[in-house]
Structure 1
Amino acid sequence: MTSIRKDISIDAPAGAVWNAVRDVGQIHTRFVPGFVTDTKLEDGARVVTFANGFVARELIVDLDDDARRLAYAVTGSALMSHHNASFEVIPESAERCRLVWIADFLPHEAAEPVGAMMAEGAAIMKATLGRKAG
């Protein structure tokens, strides 16, 4: 299994960042606009359309407000036989936090395209969430 971890420092309060992360149906407007172009909610899942045309059905595994953690799994992907991921918002000060994004997936050959997408998404998250708080 391949794991990719992005540890993103954000100039925004943890509560504000978590509020955007936990809004699972609005990630295309509040969390990663431009990277994700549409989000449709289904029973217990969301269907996410990325700017590169990739569409993923993400099963919402856990949404923990106390831990500020969202876990999800991509189902039915032609690119990956297994994919689970999580976001966790960790306060660093009253006005700064870290967003930790971890994805575990198979096959190993998906590491390059998944890693590239995560790098792009992380940069957009940092810019979007920091700008909205400022």
Structure 2
Amino acid sequence: MATIQKEILTRASVDQVWDAVRDIGALHTRLVPGFVLDTRLEPGTRIVTFFNGVTVRERIVTLDEERKRLVWAAEGSFLKHHNGSAQVLARGALTCVIWTADFLPDDAAAAIGPLMEAGAEAMKTALDKLAGKS
């Protein structure tokens, strides 16, 4: 199984970042605008439409308030398996989001890697905007 992990650092507070991550229906407005164009909620699931037109069903596996960790499983993509997670941690004076994707087949990394890079850039931009808000 292939794994790709991105670490996004921001000056926004842990609480501000977690509030954006845990808002599972607002990917397109709060966490990764431009990378995600639309998010719709159904019981236990979010339907995510990405900038490239791909729509994926993501089953919410865990929303752990104590660990500030969200886990989801994607369905309906070209992957045989996809498990994603985002965890929010303090890193000194900064906040870090650790975004991990585990997936099959392994050779999908060539497509998933650049997509996650674009998503990480969109996330950093959105989270850095939160740093100026109280």
Question: Structure 1 stretches (4+) deviating beyond 4 angstroms?
Answer: none
Alignment-derived partner of residue 103 in structure 1: 101
1:35 maps to a residue whose letter is: F
Please state how far the C-alpha of 1:108 moved relative to its aligned partner. 1.2
Alignment-derived partner of residue 88 in structure 1: 87
Alignment-derived partner of residue 66 in structure 1: 66
Q: Which runs of 5+ in 2 are unaligned?
A: none
In structure 1, C-alpha distance between the alignment counterparts of 2:117 and 2:76, rounded to whole Å: 23
Alignment-derived partner of residue 40 in structure 1: 40
Please state how far the C-alpha of 1:133 moved relative to its aligned partner. 2.0
1:75-132 per-residue CA deviation (whole Å, 9 max, x = no partner) reads: 132x100000100000124x52100001000011211111111000001101111112
1:18-58 per-residue CA deviation (whole Å, 9 max, x = no partner) reads: 00000000110000001100000011010000011111100
2:116 maps to a residue whose letter is: M
1:20 maps to a residue whose letter is: A
Alignment-derived partner of residue 113 in structure 1: 111
TM-score by length of 1: 0.95
Local SS of the residue matching 2:52? coil
Percent sequence identity over matched residues?
48
Local SS of the residue matching 2:120? helix
1:110 maps to a residue whose letter is: A
Please state how far the C-alpha of 1:5 moved relative to its aligned partner. 0.6
Number of aligned residues = 132
TM-score by length of 2: 0.95
- Is 1:16 the counterpart of 2:16 in the alignment? yes
RMSD across aligned C-alpha pairs, in angstroms? 0.9
In structure 2, C-alpha distance between the alignment counterparts of 1:113 and 1:47, rounded to whole Å: 20
